[in-house]
Amino acid sequence: MTEFGAQPSSSYEPAVLEALLNEARRFGFLGPGPVTAQMERSLAFAKMVTAVPQIAVDLGSGGGLPGLVLALTWPSSRWVFVESNQRRAAWLKSALETLGSASRVDVLCDRAENVARTALRGASDLVTARSFAPPAPTAECAAPLLKLGALLLVAEPPGSLPSRWSVAGLAELGLALQRTQVVDTGGGPTTISGLVATSPCPPRYPRRVGVPFKRPLF
């Protein structure tokens, strides 16, 4: 991992990204509310880390938040956006071409359970998740991707409590909750939970496609 504090690349044009995200919202890929505020809240993820990741994965990338914002903010990082919906995945690829970032950001149109059993297993410095799934399936899909000591950052609903994350359930996956923090941003406060990989995720996880969601560990 490189030292934290890398500046946005010279090709990063916020107006271009804003226009793309407005398009994503028209397609139904993003929720309501000003896109500029959603972009600002995405930066809450960056405030939770101390080093820029070399390799990062965004689960359920959808309309590109926080993935696009973070990938552009950290121009030295390589990203994988995981999105199982073909239409959204195609839009993400097109957006990355427009932003000039397609060479270092891959879009995988697949289920996260499958991605966790590829060469990405144990290879990621950071995994992010915004509106991906409840805590248990999010942890089960993300844990196998992380290097030891790497972080899983999850956007939480307002007012979320750390008790949403089972200590025993996380330990089964090789994770531990580091902190749940309200981060102030230009778009308003955002709650982020940070979980750290404390041991290798057992080979049996994740379970087959759909099972983490139908039969959550906690």
The confidence score (pLDDT) of residue 151 equals 98
H-run or E-run covering 161: none
Among 99, 104, 106, residue whose Cα is nearest residue 24: 99
Among 104, 108, 113, residue whose Cα is nearest residue 142: 113
When computed from its CA atoms, the radius of gyration of the chain, rounded to whole angstroms, is 16
Q: Is 181 exposed, middle or buried (0-12, 13-18, 19+ CB in 10 A)?
A: middle
The tokens for 132 are: 């991906």
Residue identified by tokens 């107006």 is 15
- Classify residue 88 by its DSSP letter: H
The answer to whether the predicted template modeling score (pTM) of the entire model surpasses 0.75 is yes
What three-state secondary structure class fits 2?
A: strand
Residue 28 CB partners (closer than 8 Å, separation 6+): none
- The whole-angstrom separation of Cα 143 and Cα 217 is 13
CA-to-CA dists, residue 11 to 26, 73, 99, 101, 113, angstroms: 25, 11, 8, 9, 34
Length of the chain: 218
Beta bridge partners of 156: 191
The confidence score (pLDDT) of residue 159 equals 87
Domains of the chain: 36-200 (3.40.50.150)
Per-residue pLDDT reduced to its tens digit, 132-146: 999 999 999 999 999
- Classify residue 9 by its DSSP letter: P
Q: Are strands 78-82 and 55-59 parallel, antiparallel or unpaired?
A: parallel
CA-to-CA dists, residue 212 to 38, 108, 161, angstroms: 28, 19, 22
Q: Which amino acid is at 168?
A: A
The confidence score (pLDDT) of residue 12 equals 62
Q: Is the dihedral of CA 25, 37, 180, 45 positive or negative?
A: positive
Residues of the chain with pLDDT under 50: 1-10
The confidence score (pLDDT) of residue 14 equals 87
